[in-house]
Amino acid sequence: MTTVFVVNSGSSSIKWELLDAESGSVYSGGIVERIGEPGGGATDHDDGMQQILAELGGEHPAVVGHRVVHGGAEFTQATVITDAVAQRLEEISVLAPLHNPANLKGIRAARATFSTVPHVAIFDTAFHGTLPPAAYTYAIDTELAQTHGIRRYGFHGTSYRYVADRAAAMLGKDLADLKLIVFHLGNGASVCAIDGGRSIDTSMGMTPLEGLVMGTRSGDIDPGALFHLGRAGMDLPGLDHLLNRESGLLGMTGTGDMRDVQSAADGGDARAQAALAVYYHRLRHYLGAYLIALAGADAVVFTAGVGENNANTRLATVAGLETFGIEMDVAANAAANRSERVVSAAASRVTVLVIPTNEELQIARESVEALTR
């Protein structure tokens, strides 16, 4: 039994879970919210960590695993955190200014609280360290790109690693022999082409803004549209806020929650129906691209909140693709079921799977692996 304390630190919250990396058993967990805010749950991250320690009842884990959003080009696997590593994470925070500084607050607070156990950083970007240059390179001036770290990094890597392993287990095959297309569809959404367990392409780019339509993010957009808005008087902070906070489903419908959009569309709301058409079109666009990139697929997998729970999204993504070997079992897809399951027809050459993700368990496992490595 190896007990791991998993920390997901945000700018004003700390989500945590204490679990066994081998069995996956969860002993306790929770969240400290509104850190540093008036009437909030803690004055700062150190105070929040002390509150969590009290909830743990003095129990100390064998290792602490930290979710870190951006590892840049150099952190491509789980890494034991030293002072030097923490300093380097500080330096590359420019690549994820909304996320990495918050992750570092949690790292510093946890290292101070649990000073006698090792700490490991698990990076959202690490799984995509296998991307070939053709997939991660943007067609801009090479020296400028290298100087400023402008390239595709990809995200949701912890989820993809977990789901890919589970897909192999469900299919009864070695992951090294499989071609998978995995849709991680939540408020943030991306898709990944996985060949033999290696990421070869993914929709998110230098930041989590590129790619699919999301709850509040635009996903793919012509950069020229931003120049147009700039000439119309919108400044850089305004553009940043627009694309990250006021776009996607929210921008098109007034709500970023897929459940509300789906309900409105089912009730005949024209804006919601139009937004879903855009959402589905982008999903199918990437599905087609990755079928070509992989030269076919053994399975298409859906995970995360929308992917696991929205049957309409799954069906719309693969509808009419029988020519490509994808055939859904409509009844199985529509059934209310929160477990791992097959939702494709028995005759389908490509298996369609729904696999609930478990990023906390994956972080725990990779933390232990990092220590043995």
Rounded Cα distance, 129 and 153, in Å: 8
Hey, CA dihedral for 309, 312, 317, 319, is it positive or negative?
positive
Q: Tokens 């070509």 — which residue?
A: 292
Catalytic residue IDs? 124
Whether the CB-CB separation of 342 and 331 falls below 8 Å is answered with: no
Q: Which residues of 190-215 are buried (b: 16+ CB within 10 A; e: fewer)?
A: bbbbbbebbbbbbbbbbbbbbbbbbb
Region of 145 on the Ramachandran plot (φ > 0 left; ψ -120 to 50 alpha; else beta): alpha
Q: Which SS3 state, helix, strand or coil, does residue 181 take?
A: strand
Instruction: Return the closest-CA partner of residue 5 out of 68, 62, 44.
Output: 62
Hey, CA dihedral for 19, 111, 359, 198, is it positive or negative?
negative
